[in-house]
Chain A
Amino acid sequence: MYILPEIIIAASALAIIIADLISRKPVIITTIAIVGIAASLIAACTSTVTFEPVFDGMLFIDGWSRLLKVLLLVVAGSVVIASTDYHARLKHSWAEFHALVLFSLLGMMLMPSAGNLISAFIAIEITSISFFVMVGMLKTPLSSEASLKMMLTGGIAAAVMLYGMAFIFGSTGSTSLAEIALSSQPDFSSGLLLGALLLLAGLLFEAGAVPFHMWLPDAYEGAPTPVTMYLSAGSKLAGIAVIARVFSMGLNNPGGLGADWGMAVAVISALTMTLGNVLALQQSNIKRLLAYSGIVHTGYMLIAVATIGLGGQVSGDEKLFFYMASFALAEIAVFTAVIVITRQIGSDRIEDLAGLARRSPLLFAIMSIGIFSLMGLPLTAGFMAKLFIFTSAVDNGLLWLMIIAVLNTVISAYYYLRIIRVMWLGKPSDGSALSLPKAPGLISIFSALGILLLGIAPYLLLKLAENIIFIP
């Protein structure tokens, strides 16, 4: 059963909808979601993988897709657990929220597995449409505006993507990645290149790269915070994983197409991290700040995507996966802490985090570890992730991009340290202690420990990822 993990997720989503008709107890809904995710996780870890495409070439169930599935399942599980702390604001649509988390998870799990442009498109749309609803779930003006904005830009992106797919189909006569790769060698038409670039534009929307990033800060700010966490640690990564998949499998011929889009991605990566950083400097809302910081990290991850193109790799990349995992850990730690903190202080402005170090040393430690990892400080996973990506950039002749990237990490230090400074030095307006509930506390502490573990012993995960991706 190649798609057992996906089937379990779909079944759990349906079970939640049915359970909601019978009982409205939130505990039942949460339990079904967690059990479903756990079962799917076991299935994903134990399922067979093959390097051959399955289902008539529609899906690849290989090491890369398995790794991503496991990562996305962990992220979704964390979102479900963290959202228990957000129950007060979501209780009217608790079951819908959980069902949509699972439906979008289904889409995201299929994204890196796509073996065909059609299946890629369907997977992306399952994810996007679920998110349109989840982002607007608070039904406040801010939330609804975010949802509408995301839907409009998302619709345009989908149209552009389809247009690109049409060009690719027109040039090669196929939508299957394997056949596209075969028929485009060694020469390729300019129609194929145009199609590839249009497709790239559509996919970059999902990942939140410049210049398709406009929806992102508004969506992050307006959405319920668990959804923000999910957008950042989930759909962003799935978006990048699908780029890596489609482009490395279908459009990476030795004739030079890989070098073309690789260079395009490198340029976009440089723009993304620089613009994201500049815009982040002025933010006063923690969720907006994290949105821009997420844009910057998209830029870093695109470096790895660019090296896949320039290096002519026909598979995923263990360094990219390491980056994704460490980024996801940092986002889980930070966002879970943000959910817990904002519920108690009733504000998501950075200045209201003042004195967190005194109000809850534990939450302060978790936030700091997460932020230091995003900043890329040594001994955190973020540093090792950046280092791996930078070395492979230099390996592929992208020394210039690496220098831009390291300078960007310096700029980013300014706003990350601002958060730390407020939390550490700020005088709280209300000195009462903040509590950390058990369930969110557990995942945030685990992810903080994971960050430190990967920062000290990165080889554990890197070697594992390499083995899973490249050894059948």
Chain B
Amino acid sequence: MGILSITIFLPAAGALLLSVLPGKNARIPRAVALAVTFLTLVLSCVLFASYDRSLGGFQFVDALSWIPAINSSYHVGLDGLSLSLVTLTSLLAVIAVLASRHITSQPKAFFAWLLLLQSCIIGVFSSLDLLLFFIFWELEVVPLYFLISTWGSNRKERSAIKYVLYTLFGSAFMLAGIVALYFTTGTFSLPELYNTDFAMLANGIPLAAMFFLLLAGFAVKLPIFPFHTWLPDTYSDAPTAGSIMLAGALSKMGGYGIARICLGLFPDTAASFSSLFMGLAVVNIIYGGAIALRQKEIKRIIAYSSFSHMGFVLLGIFSLNEIGLTGAALQMVSHGLIIGLLFAGAAILVKRTGTSRIDEMGGLARQMPVLCGLVFVAAIGAMGVPSSSGFVAEVSVYLGAFSASAEAAKIITIISLVGILLAASYMLNMVMKVFFGPVRESFASLPDIGSVEKLYLGVLATGIFTVGLYPQLITTVLKPAIKGLAVLWGG
């Protein structure tokens, strides 16, 4: 049992501990959850620091035979792509616990589900066996279902079931794809599959069919237009911690899956459909941005902005070249930090003002200057202003997309530039309506955020600038993984 397996199962063990913990005190579960997530973060940082960048490939590998009858094993390992996402997930989990300090109803259950969710997400990123990958992928709906339906707001039960059914619908196709792939190759192991020449094995199930079956699951999760209709309800009705994990970490599972599995295993199919997906990416960016502009509720604006920003991930991935893929990976990390900050900030605003509509807020910069500044940092990141992480990510994506060999790549890239304009409009509009303008009487006595809030929002804001000013922190880890992928299309 290596350090990676410990990182995966530590949160689950914490959840188990919480579920048998006696007593009704709300502080203890919170303290346990914080300790466990913090420890997991430390472990992730150790992994991040000790990954051998010059060696590349999958490291920290643990492999155990599991179900010999179908040649499946417990096989985990990390390369640069998954490592950066695991670290992001661990960071967001700590933030999610800190942002859930107000949870008073059934705190034990809440934090247990949250920890279990973290285990599932880290498991997805670490799995090198498709069956194991699927199990973590599918298992993640259970904690989220309970988190949303119990501690959510508005029409929480409906949103929860909507999320679950959408996810299961996508993963049903994904399972079909995985089984078809297994039937074609006789293995679930990703490293083995990477070394298999599929053209030699063609046996009646067309490669494109497997590609699209597998993609269905990722398309729902990312989400790709038109599979996004669950997103606004779920993101805005979920409890804060749920929104942070959903938008920050879970949506990355979609992008990661596409890059790792669909692209890694079916490079030729991906190349022949790259125009289609680049086109869909632009729809994501512009359609999502346009809807965000029209929203009145702060959480829905952020939800649609997330949908729009995932378009950049898709655009970068289907550029099918090194710079585009690097951009997509950077965008995933950067967006995780930005959206975490936005949702956490929005939750504080909604709780303090008692409204979620931005036109009912206003002038809050005077009462809460620190919160205003921190949310503004996230807005800067979302707009892609230079020196923020959003800038490096989006520029790389644009560069990659522009030089992509897909048909009409240049036109698509130029159209997608509208996305920057849209992001600036809805973000500035939101910040303006919430924080500036005339001071409202009813909010006059609101205090600024406390020191814990300052701490965790500040960490995310620092992260945004750190990645923006020193992207090498992540790109050096990414490089071997992305190079290995990009070489499939000749560079």
Known: A410-B168, A421-B157. A378 touches B176 (CB 8 A): no
A300 within 8 A of B: no
A379 within 8 A of B: yes
Query: Which listed residue, A379, A384, A399, touches B180 by the CB 8 Å rule?
Result: A399
Query: Which listed residue, A388, A409, A413, A459, touches B68 by the CB 8 Å rule?
Result: A459
Known: A377-B142, A379-B135, A414-B161. A391 touches B179 (CB 8 A): yes
A394 within 8 A of B: yes
Which secondary structure dominates chain B's binding surface?
Answer: helix
CB nearest neighbor in B for A322: B69
Query: Which listed residue, A403, A406, A462, touches B69 by the CB 8 Å rule?
Result: A462
Query: Which listed residue, B68, B135, B175, touches A406 by the CB 8 Å rule?
Result: B175
Pick the interface stretch among B145-153, B331-339, B379-387: B145-153
Q: Are A409 and B179 in contact (CB under 8 A)?
A: no
Q: Are B157 and A391 in contact (CB under 8 A)?
A: no
Q: Are A402 and B165 in contact (CB under 8 A)?
A: no
Known: A378-B138, A378-B139, A407-B172. A417 touches B68 (CB 8 A): no
Q: Are A417 and B145 in contact (CB under 8 A)?
A: yes
Q: Are A406 and B176 in contact (CB under 8 A)?
A: yes
- The range of chain A's interface size is 20 to 34
Q: A292 to chain B: which residues have CB within 8 Å?
A: none
Known: A413-B168, A459-B66. A399 touches B176 (CB 8 A): yes
Q: Are A390 and B157 in contact (CB under 8 A)?
A: no
Q: Are A410 and B169 in contact (CB under 8 A)?
A: yes
Q: Are B179 and A402 in contact (CB under 8 A)?
A: yes
In whole angstroms, what is the CA distance A51 to B67 when docked? 28
Q: Are B67 and A458 in contact (CB under 8 A)?
A: yes
Q: A388 to chain B: which residues have CB within 8 Å?
A: 69-70
B173 within 8 A of A: yes
In whole angstroms, what is the CA distance A75 to B101 when docked? 47
In whole angstroms, what is the CA distance A384 to B68 when docked? 13
A205 within 8 A of B: no
B205 within 8 A of A: yes
- The range of chain B's interface size is 20 to 34
Q: Are B176 and A402 in contact (CB under 8 A)?
A: yes
Q: Which of B350-374 contact A (CB under 8 A)?
A: none
Q: Are A394 and B68 in contact (CB under 8 A)?
A: no
Q: Contact mask A369-401 → B, CB, 8 Å, 1/0?
A: 000100001110001100110110011010100
Which secondary structure dominates chain A's binding surface?
Answer: helix
In whole angstroms, what is the CA distance A417 to B142 when docked? 10
Closest CB-CB distance, A117 to chain B, in whole Å? 33
CB nearest neighbor in B for A391: B179
CB nearest neighbor in A for B174: A406
Query: Which listed residue, A394, A413, A421, touches B165 by the CB 8 Å rule?
Result: A413
CB nearest neighbor in B for A384: B67
Query: Which listed residue, A384, A390, A424, A463, touches B175 by the CB 8 Å rule?
Result: A390
In whole angstroms, what is the CA distance A409 to B67 when docked? 23
Closest CB-CB distance, B136 to chain A, in whole Å? 8
CB nearest neighbor in A for B134: A378
CB nearest neighbor in A for B168: A410
Closest CB-CB distance, B112 to chain A, in whole Å? 12
A122 within 8 A of B: no
In whole angstroms, what is the CA distance A424 to B148 when docked? 12
B183 within 8 A of A: yes
B287 within 8 A of A: no
Q: A425 to chain B: which residues have CB within 8 Å?
A: 149-150, 157
Q: Are A463 and B168 in contact (CB under 8 A)?
A: no
Q: Are B145 and A459 in contact (CB under 8 A)?
A: no
In whole angstroms, what is the CA distance A455 to B413 when docked? 47
Query: Which listed residue, B135, B146, B172, touches A409 by the CB 8 Å rule?
Result: B172
Query: Which listed residue, B136, B139, B168, B183, touches A391 by the CB 8 Å rule?
Result: B183
Q: Are A424 and B146 in contact (CB under 8 A)?
A: yes
CB nearest neighbor in B for A395: B183
CB nearest neighbor in A for B204: A397
In whole angstroms, what is the CA distance A425 to B146 when docked? 9
Q: Are B172 and A387 in contact (CB under 8 A)?
A: no
B164 within 8 A of A: yes
Shortest beta-carbon contacts, A-B, top 3: A378-B135, A406-B172, A394-B183
A-B contacts, 5 of them at CB < 8 A, read A399-B176, A403-B173, A403-B176, A409-B172, A413-B164
Q: Which residues of B contact A (CB under 8 A)?
A: 66-70, 131, 134-136, 138-139, 142, 145-146, 149-150, 157, 161, 164-165, 168-169, 172-173, 175-176, 179-180, 182-183, 204-205
Known: A377-B138, A387-B131, A406-B176. 19 other contacts (CB 8 A): A378-B135, A387-B179, A388-B69, A390-B175, A390-B176, A390-B179, A394-B179, A397-B204, A402-B176, A403-B173, A406-B175, A413-B164, A413-B168, A414-B165, A424-B146, A424-B150, A459-B67, A462-B69, A466-B69
